[in-house]
Structure 1
Amino acid sequence: MSVDRRARVVEFLRSRGADTIRLHHRTLLAHLTGTEKILREWDAPEPLVTAGLVHAAYGTDGLVSPLVPIDERQMLRDLVGETAEKIVYTYGCCDRQFVYPQLSDAESVRWRDRFTGEMWTVEGGELRQFMELTWANALEAAAGETDADWDSVRVLFAMTSHLVSSSAANTADTTLGRLT
């Protein structure tokens, strides 16, 4: 993403309040830019890096309220590109209670959209992108936390290590090892 386009995306996030929403020890905007940075450090494809910057745009299952209503998907697509927006939607719509139990050693999973109830199969590169973003999100959150319980993250990472890059696995070993 060009410097100008990234600046427009960051300004958009600010206009939606991401710099005023508190997440643990920092703002949502700081978390989003931190997630983007991790994915860039892992040499992730540019659409995935871009998705990292806006991954919470539609909110997440039980964690973050949406910055962008679902009926504004086209606007986000125009801002970040079709591929990045699709990654963000897949991340945001994930019904974690339904999807996560299927992830252990899986190469494909039945997906349930928490917004619409629609179901489909997520597999291959799409599933790997989702997990890489999930890991970057969790590791960015872990970077500034010292008193949280990371056992559930460790379990998720153990279940899905076959779906992420060696860079992600190495960062997880370093970060989560520090939190024990």
Structure 2
Amino acid sequence: MPDHAVAWLRELGAQHLAHPGGTLLAHLERVQGLLASWGARPALRRAGLCHAFYGTDGFPTALLPLSRRAELAAVIGDQAEEIVYAYAACDRAASYPTLAREEASFRDRFTGRVHSPALELRRDLAELSAANELDLARVDPAFRDAWGARLRALFAGLRPLLSEPARRECRAVLGDGEG
């Protein structure tokens, strides 16, 4: 499946879209690799590779419209696509502060709907968020300098949802104090 996803990313031009640390495709592959190094299950790794298909709150360029969700699910699987959608739909300012709470308040930026996702999805969102931001911080010192303190605070709040390997990577990339 990942080979099909990479081929599709290439068809959609991800290797030509500028992104910190090179291209969007390079970033997506690094995020997938980081998740794999943390022992993430296959669905989360596939979601990491495809997390920007619908754009995100921090990267508005969409490779596919939401009307084509079924096509992405056919390539990466339903569970991985659900993670991709949730990551893309996450209104970060509204959702991240409560994501670690049992009754999280997740705001879908596409629909405006507010709900409390299941624990597994909240863990997936936390891990994917960490892999995404830590990749950017690792490859772009200016990004790390500008956002490091906020990322440490974010990951301190998400600590209950993060795996131990993700927490170690936070410390390695961002320094002490992030959780």
**Alignment TM-score, normalising by the size of structure 2:** 0.92
Measure how far apart 1:101 and its partner are: 2.5
Contact 2:31 2:131 in 1 (8 A): yes
* Residue of structure 2 in register with 1:108 after alignment: 103
Measure how far apart 1:63 and its partner are: 2.0
The aligned amino acid for 2:65 is P
Contact 1:57 1:67 in 2 (8 A): yes
**Which region of structure 1 is more displaced relative to structure 2, 16-25 or 50-59?**
16-25
| Mapped pair 1:8 → 2:4 | yes
* Residue of structure 2 in register with 1:26 after alignment: 22
Q: Aligned match of 2:158 in 153, 157, 160?
A: 160
* Residue of structure 2 in register with 1:54 after alignment: 50
Q: In the aligned structure 2, how far is the partner of 1:64 from the partner of 1:7?
A: 25
* Residue of structure 2 in register with 1:45 after alignment: 41
Q: In the aligned structure 1, how far is the partner of 2:160 from the partner of 2:105?
A: 18
* Residue of structure 2 in register with 1:147 after alignment: 142
The aligned amino acid for 1:142 is A
* Residue of structure 1 in register with 2:170 after alignment: 172
How many pairs were matched up?
173
Contact 1:108 1:127 in 2 (8 A): no
Q: Gaps spanning 5+ residues in structure 2: where?
A: none
Task: Please give the secondary structure, in 2, of the residue aligned with 1:126.
Answer: helix
Identity of aligned residues (%): 38
Q: In the aligned structure 1, how far is the partner of 2:91 from the partner of 2:101?
A: 17
Query: What do residues 136-173 of structure 1 show as CA deviations (whole Å, max 9, x unaligned)?
Result: 11111111111221111111011111111000001111
Q: Hey, which bits of structure 1, 4+ residues long, moved more than 6 A?
A: none
Pairwise CA RMSD: 1.4
Q: In the aligned structure 2, how far is the partner of 1:47 from the partner of 1:24?
A: 25
**Which region of structure 1 is more displaced relative to structure 2, 151-160 or 27-36?**
151-160
Measure how far apart 1:24 and its partner are: 2.0
Task: Please give the secondary structure, in 2, of the residue aligned with 1:19.
Answer: helix
* Residue of structure 1 in register with 2:124 after alignment: 129
Q: Gaps spanning 5+ residues in structure 1: where?
A: none
**Alignment TM-score, normalising by the size of structure 1:** 0.91
Larger relative helix fraction: 2
| Mapped pair 1:88 → 2:84 | yes
